[in-house]
Amino acid sequence: MVSFTDGAQWPSEKPRLQPVHLTLTIAHDITKTAETDDLSHSIDYSSICKTLVDVCSNQNYLCLESLRDHILLETFHRHPEIQDVTIQITRSRALLHPASTQLVVTKTREDVGDHEYLTIQDLECRAIVGINQCEREEGQLVAFQLTLQRSPISTVPFSFRSLAQQIISSVSQSAFLTLEALAYSVAKIALEFSAGSCEHVTVRASKPSALVCAEAAEVEITRSLKNGSVVLRLPIASGPSSKSHLTSGIGISGASGSSLERTPNIPIAKRTASHSLSEAVDNIMATSSKPSLGPATTDDPIQKDNDALSTLSQLASDLSLEEPSDYHRVALAIGSNMGDRFSNVELALRLFETDGIHFHRLAEDGFVHVINTSFLYETEPMYVTKQPKFINCACIVETNLSALQLLTLLKRVETIVGRVTTYRNGPRAIDLDILTFDKEVIDTRPLGERTLDNLEGHLVVPHPRLTEREFVLRPLNDMVPDFILPNTGKTIRELFTSLLSTQGPDPQVTHKVVPFPRYPLTRNSPELDSFLAKIPQVTPPPPTATYWKFPLCPTTATRSQRKTYIMGTLNATPDSFSDGSVNNNIPAALSYARSAVAGGADIIDIGGYSTRPGAVYVPPEEELSRVVPIVQAIRTLGQYQVADQHSHLDISVEAQARRVLMSIDTFRWEVAEEAIHAGANCINDVYAFSGPEDLRGESNEQEDHFQKMRQVARDLAVPVILMHSRGEASANKDYSAYNYAADVTGKGAVVEGIKVELGRKIDAIVRGKGGLRRWYVIIDPGIGFSKTVEGNLEVLRNATSITDDKPSGSTAPRNPLAGFPLLIGASRKSFLGGILELSDPAGRTLEGAQSQERGVGPLQRRWLVLYNRTLL
Ligand SMILES: Nc1ncnc2c1ncn2[C@@H]1O[C@H](COP(=O)(O)OP(=O)(O)OP(=O)(O)O)[C@@H](O)[C@H]1O
Ligand SMILES: Nc1nc2c(c(=O)[nH]1)N=C(CO)CN2
């Protein structure tokens, strides 16, 4: 016990006795004693012990430094045999928060000793550190061990207490994502605190609660005032206590006093300076017209840093990068809550997909290809809640741009689309964020300055707020649920599920949405038009007419939240099965349109080529001449009529009919294109872009047809209804062999068959370069097509499962139709005629079948149900 006058755990004026642990290590040649077994040649440790006890008990000490000096003085004075000694003085219970403070010095009789080590052990406090949601929300205990190297040895008391207080105050306000950054910031504080006397500090930071199967996650860094070299050591300690291992590495066990040098130093990153994004971009522009790819052969310090940091993260998270390739896979988040949100999203995608002018000076042969898209969501604003709702989605792109080049491109695109600076998290025409970049971890912020408030002008990947944002995780989960997010070890699905589980029971705030464009085209704003005229490769996206909203959880949504959109069918054919030859002239079609909207139709489907079994071939010109005039007539309905108060027409119905959505029921791209330019807003294709049978023999022809259909839909930015059928729709045959997993009763095979067969087509349509945005696809199981009566009923009874996601935890492959809105077209079809024993199609309604309880289950619990109902 030693009496100190600088207080114990609490500061005090009065001297207080407190426990001190002393270790003396004496370098001495023991050969003679060993050979002769004569103590006179060696050191009598009992007498040294007595010296130490005397020193400790004889007087009060101001601080560790004065105790050190007395011990050295008395040891050399009373024991002339000692030439070289290392003293370790540990004051346990010295301060309120750390377990102990410690001073270690090595001195010979002659010299004064050139440096000493000052250590604070097990300084504990709470902090937000880590990337998991609960770590960010709840914070956790973190522990530090700091060892400062003071040179030369000083008699000035080192204020361990003030340094500990500064660290606690800073750490408790920090919110780093990584332990590395936290340790680095603590090192900085310590060096600044002791400026002038200490040149090096080693900080070991640990999260004792972070891992289940290990005592702690730890990193250790050594930092000096001259450079910021970072040393990573045992990034994640598993198995036996890492603490004791590390402590023995640092504690004094030898006489040289250089034990710190013995810690394994693995230089990971050398930071020469911090760089802002603009510097980095200038750098790229000034030095390279080619993207920097592959390993760090470049002299670009940012690139080196990034490479080094990603190496760091690789070690820490045990993730290995895939084989190097000449392009990157990147997930991007897109959001918009100002102007025409849908058109903004589409324009942004088109701009960064277009090689050419805006790549100028960024990368000569740069490309960005969108290869997958999520669904589209309308979301409540997060952070700043008083602003318009957002439209959010995500996409996967392939690019040969580097991450910083891509960020620069995204910023340019944001400007072109019309983003202007508002306040933080405020409204914006477009927001484009890089979510992930291959499996890399990138952070261009200087170590020690890696807070969430310090993003401007930097790049942080994975996006630092990714895991807290439902509006980002949900769309990512649409595309890559099994991707393991770097640094977390968790899949997107797991992160998403865990975020949802912390958010309380209000799934109704977000909706899946399907936008419908407005045709015929009108002009954009003059500014946008004149800008886009300079980029001839970019076709401006159409303005939005309206959008449909679907609850995310149809099984829990209330009836009012679960709006069913109604489709009326208008067959402009002489031979359609339900209304052929009734509506194939303009006056009849207009009168149908009026009555359909008055009866609640949300969309009218117009077809000029019957899919009736045995229907005759219709040439394209004939099909065009049947549908286009009708589309035009509906779009201009009442436009040139003078409102006549004596007219029997209800003007509002007239105006409604003029604005009603129209889908064009065709498998031909020429017909789709012309009908849409005339005013239709949607394509309804019973062949799902694979064309009728006569195309199927020629594989090139079928491929060309597919490409053309997809391109027209994509360029015109229209929703498409894609139906399941087999073979020639008009032959409507092949009921055979749905050889898919059925249950023991033989049921389920038809639904499974639809998933597989239509799923294959949808995948080809949505994925890959040139793919249609996922949010434009509505799927139709094709009731009455290639299915038996029992098969049709099975589809109706199990319609929900057609678009179900696989249950979480299941290892089955994902349903390729998961999450798509669903169209059910059952009315007037012959299988209903069979059930209802009605030969007149007009009486064959789904409601009729349901009311007769003929095995048609209730259809309310859907993402979407569209009754293909004739409303007349
Ligand atoms: N992964 C990233 N993707 C996009 N920007 C990033 C990323 N990491 C850092 N940044 C930086 O963030 C800064 C702010 O970006 P932006 O203006 O898009 O912020 P915000 O929209 O207010 O918030 P957020 O990006 O979190 O949605 C940019 O200057 C950019 O340099
Ligand atoms: N729902 C939603 N909220 C936000 C969004 C966003 O895209 N969607 N973007 C923000 C800033 O980037 C702030 N808040």
CATH of the domain at 576: 3.20.20.20
Q: Which ligand is nearest to the CA of 460?
A: 1
Does residue 630 contact residue 586 with C-beta atoms inside 8 Å?
yes
728 and 628, same structural domain?
Answer: no
The answer to whether the CB of 748 is under 6 A from ligand 1 is no
Protein residue with its CA nearest to atom 29 in ligand 1: 456
Please answer whether residues 724 and 705 qualify as being in contact, where contact means their C-beta atoms are separated by less than 8 angstroms: no
Segment 814-858, tens digit of pLDDT: 889 999 998 887 665 555 555 555 555 555 555 554 444 444 444
Do 445 and 529 share a domain, yes or no? Answer: yes
Q: 852 lies in a domain?
A: yes
Give 410 Cα–ligand 1 centroid separation in angstroms: 10
- Is 452 a pocket residue for ligand 1 (Cβ < 6 Å)? no
Omega before residue 152 within 30° of 0, cis: yes
Out of 546, 572, 607, a domain closes at 546
- Residue nearest atom 10 in ligand 1 by C-alpha distance: 459
User: In terms of domains, do 17 and 83 share one?
Assistant: yes
The answer to whether position 593 is within a domain reads: yes
Q: For residue 525, report the distance from its CA to the centre of ligand 2, in Å.
A: 25
| 401 CA distance to ligand 2 middle (Å) | 26
Give the domain-ending residue among 518, 546, 574: 546
Nearest-CA residue for ligand 1 atom 6 is 459
Which of 762, 748, 736 lies closest to 820, judged by CA? 762
**Which numbered atom of ligand 1 lies nearest the CA of 424?**
22
CA distance 462 to 617: 55
Residue from 385, 410, 471, 472 to probe ligand 2 pocket by mutation (most atoms less than 8 Å from CB): 471
Expressed in angstroms and rounded, the spacing between residue 377 Cα and the centre of ligand 2 is 12
Question: What mean pLDDT comes out for the span 512-539?
Answer: 80
Residue nearest to atom 9 of ligand 2 (CA): 425
More confident residue, 339 or 265: 339
Q: How far is the CA of 391 from the centre of ligand 2 (A)?
A: 9
The tokens of 602 are what? 């949300």
Ligand 1 lined by 395 (C-beta under 6 Å): no
Distance 236 CA to ligand 1 centre (A): 30
67 and 20, same structural domain? yes
**Whose alpha carbon is nearest atom 9 of ligand 1?**
459
| pLDDT higher than threshold 50 for residue 866 | no
Strands 460-461 and 442-443: antiparallel
The token duo for 546 is 């309206």
Dist CA 102 CA 96 (whole Å): 15
Q: Indicate whether 759 belongs to any domain.
A: yes
Q: Residue 309 — pLDDT band, cuts 50, 70, 90?
A: very low
Ligand 1 neighbourhood includes 406 CB (under 6 angstroms): no
pLDDT value, residue 164: 92
Give the residue-averaged pLDDT of 561-589: 73
Q: Per the structure block, which two tokens stand in for 50?
A: 């007595």
In percent, how much of the chain has pLDDT > 70?
72
Residue 592, pLDDT score: 87
Distance 422 CA to ligand 2 centre (A): 13
H/E stretch holding 835 reads helix 830-836
Q: Band of the pLDDT at 551, cuts 50, 70, 90?
A: confident
Q: Which of 56-65, 386-395, 590-599 has the largest mean confidence?
A: 386-395
Residue type at 438 in one-letter notation: D
Is the CB of 465 inside a 6 Å radius of any atom of ligand 1?
Answer: yes
| Shortest-distance Cα residue to atom 14 of ligand 1 | 456
Residue type at 286?
Answer: A
The rounded Å distance from CA 345 to ligand 2 centre is 14
Q: How far is the CA of 392 from the centre of ligand 1 (A)?
A: 15
In 462-501 the beta strands, taken as DSSP E runs, fall at 484-485, 490-491
- When pLDDT is cut at 50, 70 and 90, the band that residue 583 belongs to is low
Is the same domain home to 742 and 602? no
The tokens of 729 are what? 């729709």
Ligand 2 geometric centre to CA of 381 (Å): 6
Nearest to 683 by CA among 635, 725, 715, 636: 715
End-to-end C-alpha distance for the chain, whole angstroms: 100
Amino acid at 328: H
Q: What is the mean pLDDT of residues 532-561?
A: 78
**What are the pLDDT digits (tens) for 113-167?**
788 999 999 999 999 888 887 888 888 999 999 999 998 888 888 889 889 988 9
What average pLDDT does the segment 598-617 reach? 82
d(CA 309, CA 534): 40
* Range 495-505 average pLDDT: 84
506 and 587 in a single domain? The answer is no
Confidence of residue 777 (pLDDT cuts 50, 70, 90): very high
Tell me, yes or no, whether 664 lies in a domain: no
Ligand 1 pocket check for 323: Cβ under 6 Å: no
506 and 608 part of one domain: no
Under DSSP, the state recorded for 95 is S
pLDDT band at 544; cut points 50, 70, 90: very high
Give the domain-ending residue among 269, 298, 317: 269
**Of ligand 1's atoms, which has the minimum distance to the CA of residue 465?**
26
Q: Report CA(861)–ligand 2 centroid distance (Å).
A: 30
Pick the most confident of 36-40, 522-526, 751-755, 768-772.
768-772
Based on the domain organization, do 149 and 17 belong to the same domain?
yes
Q: What is the pLDDT of residue 270?
A: 24
Distance separating alpha carbons of residues 743 and 417, to the nearest angstrom: 51
Mutate to test the pocket of ligand 1, among 330, 334, 390, 455 (most ligand atoms within 8 A of CB): 455
424 close to ligand 1 (CB < 6 Angstrom): yes
The answer to whether position 282 is within a domain reads no
415 lines ligand 1 (CB under 6 A): no
Kindly report, residue by residue over 382-429, the tens digit of the pLDDT: 998 888 999 999 999 999 888 988 998 899 889 888 877 667 788 899
In ligand 2, which atom is closest to the CA atom of 380? 1
Question: Domain check: are 569 and 533 in the same one?
Answer: no
Amino acid at 211: L
Rounded Cα distance, 399 and 353, in Å? 10
Which domain covers residue 693, as residue numbers? 686-863
Residue 427 Cα to ligand 2 middle (Å): 8
Q: 151: domain CATH number?
A: 3.30.1130.10
Gap from CA of 400 to ligand 1 centroid (Å): 21
User: CB burial class (10 A; 0-12, 13-18, 19+) of residue 35?
Assistant: exposed
Ligand 2: which of 379, 393, 452 to mutate, judged by most atoms within 8 Å of the beta carbon? 379
Q: Which numbered atom of ligand 2 lies nearest the CA of 389?
A: 1
Q: How many domains does the chain have?
A: 4
pLDDT at 215: 83
Rounded distance from Cα 465 to ligand 1 centre (Å) = 10
Q: What is the mean pLDDT of residues 250-272?
A: 24
Spatial distance between the Cα atoms of 530 and 528, rounded to a whole number of angstroms: 5
For residues 135 and 198, membership in a common domain is answered with yes
- Kindly report the protein residue whose alpha carbon is nearest to atom 11 of ligand 2: 425
Q: Which atom of ligand 2 is nearest to the CA of 470?
A: 1
Ligand with an atom nearest the CA of residue 474: 2
Any domain includes 315? no
For the record, the structure tokens of 340 come out as 């025409």
Confidence of residue 760 (pLDDT cuts 50, 70, 90): very high
Please tell me the distance between residue 259's alpha carbon and the centre of ligand 1 in angstroms: 44
Q: Would 551 be classed as within a structural domain?
A: no
CA distance 725 to 731: 11
Same domain, 647 and 527: no
C-alpha of residue 411 to centroid of ligand 1, in Å: 9
Burial 625-640 (b: 16+ CB within 10 A, else e): ebbbebbbbbbebbee
- Ligand 1 centre and the CA of 658: distance in Å? 43
Average pLDDT, the chain: 77
Distance (Å, rounded) from C-alpha 486 to C-alpha 318?
9
**What is the residue-wise DSSP string for 747-816?**
TTHHHHHHHHHHHHHHHHHHSSTTPPPGGGEEEE--TTSS--HHHHHHHHHTHHHHTPPPPTT--SPPPT
CA of 433 to the centre of ligand 1 (A): 6
Q: Which atom of ligand 1 is nearest to the CA of 463?
A: 1
pLDDT of 320 > 50? The answer is: no
What is the rounded CA–CA span in Å between residue 279 and residue 275?
6
Q: What is the best residue among 383, 421, 465 to mutate for testing ligand 2's pocket, by most ligand atoms within 8 Å of CB?
A: 383
Tokens of 64: 């560790």
Ligand 2 interacting residues, C-beta cut-off 6 A: 335, 379-383, 390, 392, 425, 431, 471
For 420-435, how does the pLDDT look when each residue is reduced to its tens digit (9 = 90+)? 766 778 889 999 999 9
* Residue 63 near residue 121 (C-beta atoms within 8 A): no
Check which CATH number belongs to the domain holding 388 and give it.
Answer: 3.30.70.560
Backbone φ and ψ of 33, nearest 5°? -60, -40
Q: Are residues 35 and 134 in the same domain?
A: yes
- Decide whether any atom of ligand 1 lies within 6 Å of the 724 Cβ: no
User: From the CB of 433, is ligand 1 less than 6 Å away?
Assistant: yes
Q: Is the CB of 426 inside a 6 Å radius of any atom of ligand 1?
A: no
The reply to whether 678 falls in a domain is: no
